[in-house]
Structure 1
Amino acid sequence: MRKKIALILGAALLASLPVLARTPGARTPAPENAQVYFIWPSDGMTVHHAFWVRMGLRNMGVAPKGTDIANTGHHHLLIDVDLPENMNEPIASDRSHLHFGAGETEARVELPPGRHTLQLVLADKDHIPHDPPVVSKKITVTVK
């Protein structure tokens, strides 16, 4: 009997969560006041070849890829590249576009010596940037 009650309560809880209804090709909405930003490093810093990136988010929540709940997304770190030209497509996944699909808010990054640009983009369950896009300021770090 307890298992049955727990299942009913669990189903009721899931049913109460806001689910995003999105038509194919439409981007997931984001609040106008949503902000993604770097906690660390800051613009102009010199870092070692392996360093921690700490990502912050305001007025939205972080959730793993595939999570279909309103006002959530997961971080993507763009290294030495510009924002995607087509914001209606998933963000690429390569050495310049790091995905944090498990909902990470910090990660250890290794880069070769020299100057590098970093920028954060929050994306939805399918790795597509929100509408409007939630992007950080682009920062520059020097790796020694």
Structure 2
Amino acid sequence: MKSGNRTRLFLSYLVKTVAGTLLTLFTISAIAASEAPADASVYIVSPKNGDVVTSPVLVQFGLTGMGVAPAGVDKANTGHHHLLIDVDTLPDMSKPVPSDKNHRHFGGGQTEVSVELEPGTHTLQLLLGDYSHVPHSKPVVSEKITITVK
């Protein structure tokens, strides 16, 4: 096979692979959100609302009525944590939770994190996401707490 033909075949394969991946990602984001049990709740174990802390801050996550599973694992009544830091408005509940400095993903199934925060007042809130990072059809979201970092 000539070098030019191999290049064309490779490029054709690459384009088809990228297109397939994009279609899969689009389809996943368009799928209806997973169901959560009516009694499911997520909460911040530590720190407590009003606490004065030093950085790094150990944030421990709590969950009742559901289990924790890593992102990508489609298992009923499970999800994984997203920590919202200094977020005024919850993200669009029909789409995957954004991933940035204010929306931290714990797709490995983690239940705590040590977070570096600048001195000052900060808000923390948890939002459970399904296997594709989309909040459940009845969002499982904690109360927002306020802490002060010395």
Name 2:132's counterpart in structure 1.
126
Q: Provide TM-score, normalisation by structure 2.
A: 0.79
C-alpha displacement of 1:23: 9.8
AA matched with 1:110: E
Match status 1:44 vs 2:46 = no
The 1-side partners of 2:30 and 2:47 are apart by 37
C-alpha displacement of 1:51: 1.4
Match status 1:28 vs 2:50 = no
Name 2:108's counterpart in structure 1.
102
Q: Is the 8 A contact 1:25 1:88 kept in 2?
A: no
AA matched with 2:115: V
Name 2:90's counterpart in structure 1.
83
AA matched with 2:35: P
Cα deviation digits, residues 2-51 of structure 1 (max 9, x gap): xxxxxxxxxxxxxxxxxxxx994311000111000011001000110201
Q: Provide TM-score, normalisation by structure 1.
A: 0.82
Cα deviation digits, residues 79-110 of structure 1 (max 9, x gap): 011211x2110000000000001000011011
- Unmatched runs of 5 consecutive residues or more in structure 1: 1-21
AA matched with 2:90: L
Q: Is the 8 A contact 1:119 1:136 kept in 2?
A: yes
The 2-side partners of 1:47 and 1:110 are apart by 11
Counterpart among 44, 65, 72 of residue 66 in structure 1: 72
The 2-side partners of 1:63 and 1:34 are apart by 15
Cα deviation digits, residues 54-100 of structure 1 (max 9, x gap): 0000000001000110000000000011211x211000000000000
The 2-side partners of 1:31 and 1:59 are apart by 7
Larger proportion of strand = 1
Q: Aligned in 2, Cα 1:141/1:23: closer, same or farther, shift over 3 Å?
A: closer
Q: CA RMSD in A?
A: 1.4
Name 1:143's counterpart in structure 2.
149
AA matched with 1:122: L
Q: Is the 8 A contact 1:113 1:142 kept in 2?
A: yes
Q: Is the 8 A contact 2:29 2:95 kept in 1?
A: no
